[in-house]
Amino acid sequence: MSDLTSIEKLKLEKLLEMGGGYVLDFSNRTFQEFILESLNIDIYDEKYNYQSGSKANRLRKLWKEEPNPIVGQLLEKLLEYWSTKNLIDHQIVSYENKNLFDECQKVAERLKEGIARQCDEDYLKKEEFYLLLSKLLSEFDKFAGLTNTEDKKKRGFLLEDLLERIFSLYEIPTQKSFKRNEGGEQIDGAFKLESWYYLVECKWTQSLTDIRQLDSLYGKISRSGKQTLGLFLSINGWSKNVCPLLKQNYDKSIILMDGYDLRCVLVEHNNLDLKDLLLKKLECLNFEGEPFYSAAQLLENNQ
């Protein structure tokens, strides 16, 4: 709700001629059209019905219901209408009304300050997001170049950490790697999306993933709660028989992701949200029985 003070309301009601239930020279129809055009709000929605339901009372209810930026935006438009109407009708504005108009403009400007402040905050958040995205992309490409034996072992841990930070950037709740069942079972990570829980298995090896590694994740899912699915991330992909074999499973509970998918959500100009990609993968699994839906397909469909 707006924080219009009682004094500010007195000034506005006087200038907008709200005595007797009216607002300036608006009819019910033109008042509705004006506010719809200004705010994309239907003033005759039940939400704004107040006391007699007159134009003035509906405007008062809007002041009460809507936040400062919205009220400020509408007041600016109403003041512009007031000024234009006087100009067209060749009305001489008295000194008192000129002062009152200036006071009402100050009210509108005060309420609209939140718009500029919010825009600045949104811009800074966006800049910070893309800065972190660029940093993560650089890390991903750097890790991809690790090739010696020692690096291969290290690369798996780096991938788990990188994945956790990417998911956090897209505001997906995550849990880092953990052990369960008295230390007998290692989980590379987990996350929650749309009220479902996902166990994550990460592989960053030169060789392609085979079905045995997928079977290991199936076992972990089967030992979890009913609202648990799996995400198998294999940076270099999987053997050609993996998808056909997964499709034969009665319990289809794993979605696949490769390195290309992950890199796509890190490239700024792709404008690809990780949540959208994961949900599309899940949709494809549920509707078509396909465990893999590529980021390339989603980018192509979004063009």
Q: What is the mean pLDDT of the chain?
A: 89
Half-sphere exposure of 17 (CA within 13 A, CB side): 10
Q: What is the pTM of this model?
A: 0.61
Q: How far apart are CA 48 and CA 31, in angstroms?
A: 13
Q: Residues near 51 by Cβ (< 8 Å), separated by ≥ 6?
A: 57
Higher pLDDT, 181 or 39: 39
User: In which band, very low, low, confident or very high, does the pLDDT at 115 lie, cut at 50, 70 and 90?
Assistant: low
4, pLDDT greater than 80: yes
Q: Please compute the mean of the pLDDT values over residues 118-139 and round it to a whole number.
A: 81
Q: How far apart are CA 218 and CA 189, in angstroms?
A: 15
Q: Please compute the mean of the pLDDT values over residues 75-101 and round it to a whole number.
A: 93
pLDDT at 150: 58
- Closest Cα partner for 232 from 259, 202, 205, 261? 202
Neighbour order of strands in the sheet with 196-203: 174-175, 189-193, 196-203, 228-234, 254-258
